[in-house]
């Protein structure tokens, strides 16, 4: 299983407070059956240039890799949770925010109704920049029907959708989660973990639930999507 959305890098945002907590979070994920994780700290264009963010991220990775208790498992794919901004497809270095080694750009969409301009910008990321936009925690935007049509349009031109594990694990939202999955509006999952408590890794519980609720063929389809996005084969 791959965790496509974690805030595990130390000191980058409101995630892990230090390298020790980062390493402990990764060990928890490994124990839950996660073999790969996309480390996706927040990126806000209004706060800093992409170049500065990338330098901070590299320092955080170096700090984590030097930490006691860091094992190198799960395999870590540095990336970013990129907050949508106008004309982002024209930003010269936006491709450098993709999950490293892939064409996947984890995109946090704007709150409220997605206008045609917003949808077109995601289209440009997919078509002009040849990225695979991965819409982060879409349950916040489309679970109740709001933006569902726009989400379908975005998926139609190659974008995919990530959902937080909690959307499936909560009894209050589980039915909506499986409905979105059935309708093809969710493709991969993430813990969106930030710390050891209260926002700890929870992918193990999600894996147990999916094994209970989905057929083996459907689980294999989801696993194949994970591998394809990471450009991986049988090692993940």
Structure tokens at 115: 């206008």
What are the boundaries of each domain within the chain? Answer: 2-230
Angle at 225 between CA 222 and CA 231, to 5 degrees: 145
CATH of domain 2-230: 3.20.20.140
Calculate mean pLDDT across residues 10-36. 95
Angle at 194 between CA 51 and CA 136, to 5 degrees: 65
Q: What is the pTM of this model?
A: 0.94
Calculate mean pLDDT across residues 217-229. 96
Q: What is the pLDDT of residue 138?
A: 82
Q: Where are the alpha helices (DSSP H) in 81-135?
A: 116-127
CA-CA distance, 75 to 58, in Å (whole number)? 16
Task: Point out the least confidently predicted range of 39-48, 118-127, 136-145, 223-232.
Answer: 136-145
Q: What is the pLDDT of residue 148?
A: 87
pLDDT, the chain, mean: 94
């Amino acid at each position: 299983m791959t965790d496509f959305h974690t805030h595990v890098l130390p000191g980058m945002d409101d995630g892990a407070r230090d390298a020790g907590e980062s390493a402990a979070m990764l060990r928890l994920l490994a124990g839950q059956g996660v073999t790969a994780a996309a480390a996706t700290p927040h990126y806000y264009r209004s706060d800093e240039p992409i170049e500065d963010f990338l330098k901070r991220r590299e320092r955080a990775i170096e700090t984590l890799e030097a930490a006691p208790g860091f094992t190198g498992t799960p395999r870590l794919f540095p990336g970013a949770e990129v907050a949508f901004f106008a004309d982002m497809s024209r930003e010269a270095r936006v491709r450098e925010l993709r999950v490293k080694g892939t064409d996947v750009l984890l995109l946090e969409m704007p709150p409220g109704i997605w206008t045609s301009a917003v949808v077109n910008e995601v289209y440009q990321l997919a078509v002009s920049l040849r990225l695979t936009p991965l819409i982060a925690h879409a349950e916040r935007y489309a679970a109740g029907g709001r933006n569902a049509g726009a989400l379908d349009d975005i998926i139609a031109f190659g974008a995919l959708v990530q959902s937080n594990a909690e959307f499936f694990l909560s009894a209050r939202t589980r039915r909506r989660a499986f409905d979105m999955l059935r309708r093809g509006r969710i493709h991969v999952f993430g813990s969106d973990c930030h710390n050891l408590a209260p926002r700890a890794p929870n992918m193990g519980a999600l894996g147990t639930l999916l094994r209970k609720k989905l057929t083996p063929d459907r689980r294999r389809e989801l696993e194949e999507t994970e591998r394809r996005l990471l450009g991986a084969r049988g090692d993940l």
